[in-house]
A and B are shown apart, each in its own frame.
Chain A
Amino acid sequence: MGQSDENESLINPKDFQSTSIQVQFRNANSKTPLKKEANVTLTEWLEKGLVIEVPSRTCATGHSAAITLSAVRGAEKLMVVNMTVKITDVENLPDFRDRVTLSFVQYEEFEWKKLLRLFASRQDEIEDFFKKVRGY
């Protein structure tokens, strides 16, 4: 919307949509997929890994897991990246949640970089928009 021309509509439903990442996690050691309602969130990109939040006792350090990251905007799936990871750290959090650090074992590097670029370019757009809005 920031780059919209004068004829664009006043209310654009797309302005209210956010691009988010859905995480599917399957522990390869316990072979048990997480329940659909289990909330897994991605909190940090690492150079060759991720930090996610999962229900407690989902996995332990040293376990392997299969992860699918889907970038979604509204009902549209923008891209999907599959990877095999090793759990390198598990930190217990309040409310029966764990902060889990994963490092990639096998992953689609091209897709992974594309996903990072998707978010990095949105971050750049936001910074640019802020500069224009403020005027400095």
Chain B
Amino acid sequence: MKAQQDDLVKVFEDFIGGQKVLIADTNAAARATLCKLLIEMGIKTAQLVLTSSYPKAEAEIETSRPKLVICDFDLGSRSGLDLLQKQRAKFPDSKDSLFVLATGNNSQSAVARAAEEDVDCFILKPFSSITFRSSILKAVVLKVQPPEYLKVIDRGKTYLTSGQLDEAIKSFEFAAGLDPSPSLACYYLGQANFVKKALEPAEGGYRSGLNYNKIHYRCMVGLYEVLAARKLSKDAYEVIKRISQYFPANPKRLAEVLRLAVVTESYDDIEKYYQLFIQIDDRNEEIVRYICAALVVCGKYYLRKGLQSRALELFQKAAVSAAGRTNILREIIMALVEYGLLKFADEYLGRFPPDTQSGKDYLTMKLLIAHNSTPALRVVDTGRDILKMGIQDPLVYQILISRTGEAGLNASVQDLVNKAAALWPEKKDFFQKLAEDAAKKGAQSAVKTEK
């Protein structure tokens, strides 16, 4: 047993060589403990680099290029996973090094994010020296002495990246026979077929991988991508929902789930997600933004269907979750105005926090409501005041062009069109058409007045 342990320590020492080991942890005692344990494992003090913050750790990654990084999941306002992404982006060959999360955050969301990012090892804090040592050694051994199955997959990956797709497929098929649960080999078979644009065989590869292991992350993501590429939105939605069950808290994915829920008109699901969302204590900015946006889209759908009270209920939830985010309030007001619900739109205008009431969203929405409820000349005056304040918003120009044209102020209209077209060249034709329509409307009302 002792000899076996010594062999493992030798493997570890050889793996590290004389290279640096980075410890990033906000807790001083945790840093000291990790230092002590690594020194016991043969690392020299001079090889150790200790940091207490994310920015320092990021700088050390660049300057020291550590062979082993041990960091906490939570590094101040950033995550240890951000550090891993940074390391991989900066040094693509850093997959040869070891990235370990030693953290007190043992929530399933943190664990799943770490697994998604392919972290080499996840050690719970507090830990014992035995757990720490054995976890690190196991991860190193897997890295430097992989089983035959992984070696063959690696060979296939080399063929895959060099474009030798048939050779790659042969390797992955061979690898699949080397392991009783060859999900990874199936995944790469799927990938090779995906690259060949053989989408059905690709889907088959991912599905076989999932038959062996229903939570194989890459197979699930591969399957989602192939279904999305085949524009099978409903099937893709089912798969991404499943991914999110096992790998929660990835804001980008949640955004995709919500997008597909909207595309597939699964509006009841959005309301269900909202109910669960409000129970989460640790909501990050992205999740809040996406859920609010989805609620607003859902509300608009109900307005289209004539289900006004349901729509209002969703807008109410979106506004509460938005907690003063002006872009969400703006979307709600625009939807309400579109359906002529000016009284409600005005109520939402009152929800803008006082410090945002001189900002673009508030003033533009105020103008929009006025546009639908007050005479042209007053709207024009208000709009001009907004422009004088230096606020540039296409909707302000849109309203001003319409109402100025209706008021028969043709010279001003062309000036507005020119200014708007200079700011948003892609909308030039739209503004021009708006001016022409407004001029016609103005001429008609002038004729009526003469009569």
Complex interface: stretch among A5-13, A57-65, A80-88: A5-13
Task: Pick the contact of B181: A18, A119, A135 (CB < 8 A).
Answer: A135
Q: For window 107-136 of chain A, which residues contact chain B by CB distance below 8 Å?
A: 119-120, 122-123, 126-127, 129-130, 132-136
Chain B residues with CB under 8 A of A41: 27, 29-30
Chain B residues with CB under 8 A of A130: 115, 122
Task: Pick the contact of A99: B28, B149, B272, B273 (CB < 8 A).
Answer: B28
The CA of A9 and the CA of B111, in the complex, are separated in Å by: 18
Q: Assess whether A94 is in contact with B108, with CB atoms less than 8 Å apart.
A: no
Q: For window 206-220 of chain B, which residues contact chain A by CB distance below 8 Å?
A: 209, 212-213, 215-219
The CA of A18 and the CA of B107, in the complex, are separated in Å by: 4
A53 touching B245 in the complex, CB below 8 Å, given contacts A18-B107, A126-B122: no
Task: Pick the contact of A13: B104, B106, B217, B276 (CB < 8 A).
Answer: B276
The CA of A135 and the CA of B142, in the complex, are separated in Å by: 13
Give the interface size bracket for B toward A.
35 or more
Q: Assess whether B246 is in contact with A119, with CB atoms less than 8 Å apart.
A: no
Interface majority SS (helix, strand, loop, mixed), chain B: helix
The CA of A8 and the CA of B276, in the complex, are separated in Å by: 12
Residue of A nearest to B118 (CB): A134
Is B124 part of the contact surface with A, judged by Cβ < 8 Å? yes
Q: Assess whether B248 is in contact with A99, with CB atoms less than 8 Å apart.
A: no
Complex interface: stretch among B182-190, B333-341, B421-429: B182-190
Chain A residues with CB under 8 A of B209: 135
Give the interface size bracket for A toward B.
35 or more
Chain B residues with CB under 8 A of A119: 124, 126
A16 touching B241 in the complex, CB below 8 Å, given contacts A10-B276, A126-B111: no
Is A15 part of the contact surface with B, judged by Cβ < 8 Å? yes
The CA of A46 and the CA of B130, in the complex, are separated in Å by: 9
A16 touching B124 in the complex, CB below 8 Å, given contacts A91-B32, A132-B213, A133-B217: no
Q: Assess whether B118 is in contact with A53, with CB atoms less than 8 Å apart.
A: no
Chain B residues with CB under 8 A of A106: none
Interface majority SS (helix, strand, loop, mixed), chain A: mixed
A134 touching B27 in the complex, CB below 8 Å, given contacts A10-B257, A13-B280: no
A93 touching B147 in the complex, CB below 8 Å, given contacts A15-B249, A133-B115, A135-B182: no
Smallest distance from the beta carbon of B210 to chain A beta carbons, Å? 10
Q: Assess whether A46 is in contact with B128, with CB atoms less than 8 Å apart.
A: yes
Smallest distance from the beta carbon of B277 to chain A beta carbons, Å? 6
Per-residue 0/1 for B228-269: is the Cβ within 8 Å of any A Cβ (1 yes, 0 no)? 000000000000011011101100001001000000000001
Q: Assess whether A135 is in contact with B245, with CB atoms less than 8 Å apart.
A: no
The CA of A108 and the CA of B82, in the complex, are separated in Å by: 41
A134 touching B242 in the complex, CB below 8 Å, given contacts A2-B215, A41-B29: no
Could you name 27 residue pairs across A and B whose Cβ atoms are closer than 8 Å? A4-B245, A6-B245, A9-B272, A9-B276, A10-B241, A10-B257, A10-B273, A11-B254, A11-B277, A12-B245, A12-B248, A13-B279, A15-B109, A15-B248, A16-B281, A18-B107, A43-B33, A43-B125, A50-B126, A51-B33, A99-B32, A123-B127, A129-B215, A133-B217, A135-B187, A135-B216, A136-B184
